[in-house]
Structure 1
Amino acid sequence: MDTKVEPFKARRVYLLLRERIQAGDMAPGTRLPGEPAMAAECGVSRVTLRRALDQLAAEGLVERRAGVGTFVRDALPLPPAGIDFADVFAHLKEMGRRTEVRLLSFGYVLPAGPVVTALGLAPGQRAQRAVRVRAMAGAPFSYLTTHVPEQIGLTYSEAEMASQPLLSLLERSGIRIARARQDIGATLAGPELAEVLQVETGAPLLTLTRVVEDAAGRAVEHLHAFYRPDRFTFQMQLARTGEEGERRWSPLAPATPEAGGTPA
């Protein structure tokens, strides 16, 4: 009896089919071949194939109709959220009102060494720590951990943190946000992150670490974030500028924020 699920093969098949669907090789409404034929073509068991199809169905890319077959969805999911690097703060505040947030934890802690250094905290100084998940249309796309110096964190409540963008709360406290520095990388999802972001353990994730500063150069927020790359993108529009022989790429002034993007 065919009962063995091979996780790595299931993910390979899932990625292959998702790529074909998103590239338009399988038009909306297309009925996929039967499971025996697809399993044979992909070189996997039917149970492994079903796992891949279940993941596609969970993401709204296909519809499985009992006794009929599996069809590419007529209405594909919303495009990935995106944020324009040329005007990060405007997008953060605007998208804070357009995405859903779930506050997982809120408290005051002695942060780890890298956060202490980034925020310039004194030995023994606490920080307000919050962990949130952001979603669009019920689909989670980011896992955010923020640290704010305690004296600033005391200006807002847990309920406010659960309902308002942190950037707005910081500005309400009288802080004039001036700049930020950030690093972007990639990692693999561990079991806990995978469960929250609804991906498989070992799935690739984008990472971002951002330190926000006020007009005096004081660090007022440390953010460490994980993003699903299929639901979130970093964007920047560029133009060629400079004199001949010294031409370079420069960021364009941002347009008015539109749907997409994520707050911190």
Structure 2
Amino acid sequence: MRDTASVQLPEGGKSRRVYLLLRERISGGIYADGSVLPSEHKLCAEHGVSRVTIRRALDALCQDGLIKKRVGAGSIVRSNRIIDTPLAADMGTLVPQIVRMGEESTARLLSFSYGPAPKTVSSALGLADGARVQTAVRVRDADGAAFSHLTTHVPEKIAQSYSEADLATTPLFQLLERSGVQIGSARQSVTAALASPDVADALGVSVGTALLGLTRVVMDADGSGVEYLSALYRPDMFRLEMSLHRVGDSQDRHWEPITDKDGGG
């Protein structure tokens, strides 16, 4: 795995803001692997900054191995360099905790739209290239303070069963099940992330703040993808707890998580 702790932000607040936004778009599949980033001139106009600022951000992305600069060909995206060999862990009690947080907190809907799925999303959900999804961005609050930033993608055919007003007041899992979806399984990963400008504003933190990132892909009973979740949590307001017990005999003894089937909470 590439050492994410060694990432160095570029100098200057504006350069860092552009760097983090471009990095988020690359990791989220908006700029797909092998594609060409917009020209420096277009990036300057989009972000309202100078060419020096853009070059600092691009240089940092290049040092991270996320883009490759080619004379006359622009900056080529290398999103597969973000994590070469991700570490995997069995987080046996994570789903019940996430569900419980949803029941004990409130969510604010920031955006609701339909459009083509990013490549990362369509690949994870098993959708055809160009397939449309419903994308929603929400912020979840606890005791009046924002602690998570949630982006969900749901195939258009399924999402048409609920409205923007429904999603603003009802947990997505309930809406999916109400539409007839029989949820069969999910896979998820937890990693570290940095707060981009829009996420930082929503969570009330500084740009570049370290966050806990969770990605979850939900499948129905037939193995078809029904939801892609990208969640970012403030680590000062979110704690993952897990109970362990010691199992095995002799030299084969090891720790295992206590899940619901073990009688744990």
Report the TM-score when normalising by structure 2: 0.61
Matching residue of 2:141: 135
Contact conserved, 2:119 with 2:129, CA < 8 A, in 1? no
Q: Which letter maps to 2:180?
A: G
- Say which is worse superposed, 177-186 or 135-144, in terms of deviation: 177-186
Closer/same/farther in 2, CA of residues 151 and 97 from structure 1, 3 Å limit: same
CA contact (8 A) 1:93 1:165 kept: no
Identity of aligned residues (%): 49
Q: 1:172 maps to what in 2?
A: 178
In structure 2, relative to structure 1, the CA distance for the partners of 1:184 and 1:88 (3 Å cut) is closer
Per the alignment, residue 29 of structure 2 pairs with none
Instruction: Tell me the residue number matched to 1:223.
Output: 229
Query: Which residue in the other structure is 1:186 paired with?
Result: 192
Matched, 1:110 2:116: yes
Listed one character per residue, the Cα deviations across residues 91-122 of structure 1 (whole Å, up to 9, x for unaligned) are: 44443232011000111110211001001111
1:110 aligned partner, one-letter code: P
SS in 1 for 2:256: strand
Deviations 1:178-201 (A, max 9, x none): 221111111221222111111112
Contact 2:149 2:231 (C-alpha < 8 Å) held by counterparts: yes
- Within 2, Cα distance between the matches of 1:239 and 1:256? 10
CA root-mean-square deviation: 2.3
Note the residue ranges of structure 2 that are not aligned, 5 or more in a row: 1-11, 14-90
CA distance in 2 between partners of 1:88 and 1:167 (Å): 16
Number of residue pairs the alignment of both structures matches: 176
Structure 1 residue 89, shift from structure 2 partner: 4.2
Deviations 1:46-78 (A, max 9, x none): xxxxxxxxxxxxxxxxxxxxxxxxxxxxxxxxx
Cα distance between partner residues in 2 of 1:256 and 1:158: 37
Amino acid at match of 1:232: F
The reply on whether 1:249 has 2:255 as its aligned counterpart is: yes
Large movers: runs of 4+ above 6 Å = none
Q: Of 145, 148, 151, which aligns to 2:154?
A: 148
Letter in 1 for 2:102: G
Gaps of 5+ in 1: 1-6, 9-84, 258-264
- Aligned partner of 1:214 among 195, 214, 220: 220
Query: How far off its partner does 1:159 sit?
Result: 0.8
SS at match of 2:92: helix
Name which structure has the greater RCO, CA cutoff 8 Å, separation 6+.
1
Structure with higher helix content: 2
Q: TM-score, normalised by structure 1?
A: 0.61
Equivalent in the alignment of 1:200: 206
Q: Is the CA contact (8 Å cut-off) linking 2:94 and 2:240 kept in structure 1?
A: no
Moved more, 90-99 or 137-146: 90-99
Counterparts of 1:238 and 1:113, CA distance in 2: 37
CA contact (8 A) 1:93 1:167 kept: no
1:152 aligned counterpart, secondary structure: helix
Counterparts of 1:256 and 1:239, CA distance in 2:
10
2:120 is paired with a residue of what secondary structure? Answer: helix
CA shift for structure 1 position 238: 1.3
**Deviates most, 173-182 or 157-166:** 173-182
3-state DSSP of counterpart to 2:109? strand
CA contact (8 A) 2:105 2:140 kept: yes
